[in-house]
Structure 1
Amino acid sequence: MSTSKSLRLLLSACPLPTNEARILLAHILEKHYQLPRSALLSRDDMVLNEAAAIEWESFISRRANGEPVAYILGKKGFHNIELLVAPGVLIPRPETELLVDIVLAEIAKSKQPTSVLDLGTGSGAIALAIASEASLATVIATDQSGEALAIAKHNAQLLNLSQQVEFAQGSWYEAIGQQHFDVIVSNPPYIANLDPHLTQGDLRFEPASALTDYASGLSCLAMIISGADQHLRSGGLIAVEHGFDQSEAVVELMQHAHLIDIQAHLDLAGHCRVVTGRKDPKTCQGS
Structure 2
Amino acid sequence: MSTELHTIIDLIRYGASRFGEAGLTFGHSYDNALDEATQLTLFALHLPHDLSPVYGQARLTSDEKQRVLALFQRRIDERIPACYITGEAWFAGLSFLSDPRALVPRSPIAELIEVGYQPWVGEREISRVLDLCTGSGCIAIATAVYQPDWQVDGVDLSADALALAQANVERFEVGARVRLVQSDLFAALQGERYDLIVSNPPYVTHAEVDALPREYEYEPEMGLRAGDDGLDIVLRMLRDAPEHLTEDGLMICEVGESERALVELLPEVPFAWIEFRVGAMGVFVIERDDLVRHHVRIRELAEARG
TM-score (norm 1): 0.83
Residue 97 to residue 252, structure 1, CA distance change in 2 (3 Å): farther
Alpha carbons 2:89, 2:98 under 8 Å: kept = yes
Residue correspondences, number: 274
Alpha carbons 2:133, 2:156 under 8 Å: kept = yes
List per-residue Cα deviations over 1:1-41 (Å, max 9, x = no partner): 9589523554454313333222211112226xx79733783
Matched, 1:136 2:152: no
- Aligned position for 2:38: 22
Counterpart-to-counterpart distance in 2, 1:254 and 1:278: 16
- Aligned ranges 1:187-202 → 2 under 5 Å: 187-195=200-208, 198-200=211-213, 202=215
Q: CA deviation at 1:130?
A: 0.7
**Structure 2: which amino acid aligns with 1:137?**
W
Q: What SS is found at the alignment partner of 1:25?
A: helix
**Structure 2: which amino acid aligns with 1:276?**
V
- Aligned position for 2:297: none
Query: Which consecutive unaligned segments of at least 5 residues does structure 2 have?
Result: 20-32, 293-306
- Aligned position for 2:181: 168
- Aligned position for 2:234: 221
Matched, 1:104 2:113: no
List per-residue Cα deviations over 1:117-136 (Å, max 9, x = no partner): 11100111111111101122
Counterpart-to-counterpart distance in 2, 1:264 and 1:235: 19
Counterpart-to-counterpart distance in 1, 2:287 and 2:214: 36
Residue 250 to residue 230, structure 1, CA distance change in 2 (3 Å): farther
Q: CA deviation at 1:196?
A: 5.7
Alpha carbons 2:136, 2:162 under 8 Å: kept = yes
Q: CA deviation at 1:248?
A: 6.2
Alpha carbons 1:99, 1:239 under 8 Å: kept = no
Residue 201 to residue 100, structure 1, CA distance change in 2 (3 Å): farther
Matched, 1:184 2:197: yes
Matched, 1:237 2:250: yes
Residue 248 to residue 43, structure 1, CA distance change in 2 (3 Å): same
From 214, 217, 233, give the equivalent of 1:204.
Answer: 217
Matched, 1:6 2:6: yes
Q: CA deviation at 1:263?
A: 1.4
Residue 20 to residue 113, structure 1, CA distance change in 2 (3 Å): closer
Query: Which consecutive unaligned segments of at least 5 residues does structure 1 have?
Result: none
Alpha carbons 2:108, 2:281 under 8 Å: kept = no
Q: CA deviation at 1:241?
A: 0.4
TM-score (norm 2): 0.78
The RMSD of aligned alpha carbons is 3.0
Residue 215 to residue 25, structure 1, CA distance change in 2 (3 Å): same
Counterpart-to-counterpart distance in 1, 2:102 and 2:205: 19
- Aligned position for 1:264: 273
List per-residue Cα deviations over 1:48-89 (Å, max 9, x = no partner): 4x3x44532331122113211111111111013110000111
